[in-house]
Structure 1
Amino acid sequence: MTNHEHTEHTGSMKAYIIGFILSIILTIIPLLLVLNHMMAKTSLTVSILIAAVLQFAIQLFFFMHIREGDGPRYNAMALILGLVFAVTIVFGAIWIMDFNYVVQ
């Protein structure tokens, strides 16, 4: 019988605090942009989407420890597949809503 070591993935308190502060900043920036009407509609939408993608990356790296792990990266492959599904659904919904006026 082999003895497997169980390693627990824990991050440092400094990394959690940095991730939390960055998450708060990336939440406040789009909120201020929307509440103060600082941009046109298209640029506002793009800036919100950029903040959302950055927020997603921060969550993955600082809190979900996506870089940690040994062996095959099944979690990373599942994440990529989930992203493909999400992007397909979002762009499909936008495409359907964009061409809705043709049907009416």
Structure 2
Amino acid sequence: MMENKAAGHSRFPWTQVIAFLFSIILTFAAVWIGIWANLSYRVIVAAVFALAFIQAAIQLFMFMHVSEGEHGIWQVGKMLSAAFLAFVIVAGSVWVLNSMH
């Protein structure tokens, strides 16, 4: 029987499995911080946002292969500019909503 093995596709994807497990751990850490940690509200929100950012970065680079290909650096630049715009929109919205009397 002939096996059709492409280059690089015959081995087990350990990096993806490890990234998936790390994403699951980050999710449970965020849940633990949100429910069981005896911290102030601001610290909880900051910690959950930080864990979400790390998890998004893992998923972008490990599963969506953002940095691979011939235009890898451009893809990373586009992602960073999109993240900056999202941050400006969210921060501006929070600022406007908190400044209302």
TM over 0.5: yes
Distance 1:71 1:32 in 2: 39
- 1:1-104 aligned within 5 A: 13-71=13-71, 73-101=73-101
Structure 1 CA distance for aligned equivalents of residues 24 and 89 of structure 2: 27
Deviations 1:26-54 (A, max 9, x none): 11111111222421111111111110111
TM-score normalised by the chain length of structure 1: 0.76
SS, match of residue 38 in structure 1: coil
Identity %: 26
CA contact (8 A) 2:67 2:75 kept: no
Describe the superposition over 1:72-93 as per-residue Cα deviations: whole angstroms up to 9, x where unpaired. 7332232122112201111111
Name the aligned partner's letter for residue 33 of structure 2.
L
Q: Write the distance in 2 (CA, Å) between the matches of 1:62 and 1:85.
A: 23
Runs of 4+ aligned residues of structure 1 deviating over 4 Å after TM superposition are none
Counterpart secondary structure, 1:73:
helix
In the superposition, the TM-score normalised over structure 2's length comes to 0.78
Report Cα offsets for 1:57-102 as digits up to 9, x if no partner.
Answer: 111111111221114733223212211220111111111111022x
Root mean square deviation of aligned Cα: 2.4
Structure 2, unmatched stretches of 5+, are 1-7
Structure 1 gap segments, 5+ residues each:
1-8
In 2, Cα distance between equivalents of 1:63 and 1:53: 15
Determine if contact 2:33/2:44 at 8 Å carries over to the other structure.
yes
Cα distance, 1:86–1:25 mapped onto 2, change above 3 Å: same
